[in-house]
Amino acid sequence: MLDFEKNVNNYPHLVILGAGASKACCPNDDKNGKTLPVMNDLIDILELNELLKKHGYNVTEKNFEKMYSIIYKDNNENLLKEIEYRVRNYFSKLEISDKVTIYDLLISFLRKKDVIVSFNWDPLLIQAFKRNHFHSNMPNMIFLHGNVELGVCYQCKNINYINLSCGICGKDLTPSKLLFPIINKNYTKDPYIKNNWELLKYYIEKAYFITIFGYSAPDTDVEAINIMNNIWNENNLKDMAEIEIIDIKSEKELHETWNDFIVRSHFSTKKTFYESWLCQHPRRTCEAHSSIYMMNDPKWEIQNFQKAKNINSLHKLKKIINPLIKEENEYDNTDKKFDPKRQLF
């Protein structure tokens, strides 16, 4: 997996996205001015207060997931259906900005060995994927809590965009499941969600670089954190791997949250996506890190720091990454090495 002769590291870069990442993608709301919610403002944004009071709930809990779990425990099916309808209806209408966003950069700055894992329901990442899908060397995507843009054919075990039919049997797709009670999140009950978690386990066990972007590892999702921690301990590369956190919280607070993941000093925090390794070394994060910290050869100089901010069109983004894609396509068939001195911006 490590090919030092050609400056190539084929181990995956794993990116985990939480609600903070979608907020950063559309900091001034979506294309039509709709707010990108987080769990602590979702009850207000979906205007659930009156509905909950109508069903006898005193809305003192501001966290949506905690409130949903209370209702789930009460087995209030009619209310649960209405809440899920409102969640799906709101998130389905969100649209990514016409301008280049962080998600456009994220999609373009990873390659097919890499994976983006999202806890988010919104369709922004998939919308970015669609409009940047001009080549085959795209990263994989996994949605651990489902996504409003995806549908499932459980009969054929096939996944596609929700507006399309099953490519095997031609039947309409079933919307992917979105809501799980945090008191007892059962990620194995739904086959689609179960498969996504199995894929996550595979990538965590193989990952050389992990970026956690806008995901707070909430105490409401203990099961998810336990699953990730257990598999991470089986990763044979974790003594060399890097953990990068992109979050506005303090380094001390983030270190405490992710302490079980951190190995010695292989940990860094960034306040913005533009400071990340992904923007410093687009499509070459694992190569840069292994060269610097395994080979003691810092030939991958940080030349692109913050310059990704200046990418103001999808055409410019495509022009910047095309030489890297060409290099990747030539990798298996030529003696050409990945060029650590390539100027991109």
* pLDDT tens digits in sequence order for the chain, 345 residues long: 778 788 899 999 999 999 999 999 999 999 999 999 888 889 999 999 999 999 998 878 788 888 888 888 888 889 999 999 999 999 999 999 999 999 999 999 999 999 999 999 999 999 999 999 888 899 999 999 999 999 999 999 899 999 999 989 999 999 998 887 766 666 777 888 889 999 999 999 999 999 999 998 766 667 777 888 888 888 888 888 889 999 999 988 888 888 878 877 788 999 999 999 999 999 999 999 998 887 777 777 776 667 899 999 999 999 999 999 999 999 878 888 898 888 888
Asked if residue 225 and residue 77 are part of one domain, the reply reads no
pLDDT at 182: 64
Asked if residue 189 and residue 65 are part of one domain, the reply reads no
pLDDT at 95: 97
Tokens encoding 139: 């990263």
Asked if residue 87 and residue 100 are part of one domain, the reply reads no
pLDDT at 304: 66
pLDDT at 136: 85
- 265 within a domain of the structure (yes/no): yes
pLDDT at 183: 60
- 326 within a domain of the structure (yes/no): yes
pLDDT at 303: 64
- 62 within a domain of the structure (yes/no): yes
Asked if residue 46 and residue 26 are part of one domain, the reply reads no
pLDDT at 46: 93
Nearby residues of 91 by Cβ (< 8 Å), 6 or more positions away:
121, 122, 123, 148
CATH number for the domain including 105? 3.40.50.1220
- 166 within a domain of the structure (yes/no): no
pLDDT at 164: 92
Name the residue range of residue 254's domain.
2-31+96-145+180-330
Name the domain count of the chain: 2
Asked if residue 262 and residue 197 are part of one domain, the reply reads yes
Q: Which domain-ending residue is among 55, 71, 92? A: 92
- 150 within a domain of the structure (yes/no): no
Asked if residue 187 and residue 88 are part of one domain, the reply reads no
- 9 within a domain of the structure (yes/no): yes
Asked if residue 270 and residue 130 are part of one domain, the reply reads yes
Q: Which domain-ending residue is among 92, 110, 130? A: 92
Q: Which domain-ending residue is among 92, 113, 128? A: 92
- 154 within a domain of the structure (yes/no): no
Asked if residue 207 and residue 297 are part of one domain, the reply reads yes
Asked if residue 135 and residue 53 are part of one domain, the reply reads no
Asked if residue 139 and residue 47 are part of one domain, the reply reads no
Asked if residue 262 and residue 225 are part of one domain, the reply reads yes
Asked if residue 140 and residue 49 are part of one domain, the reply reads no
pLDDT at 218: 66
- 289 within a domain of the structure (yes/no): yes
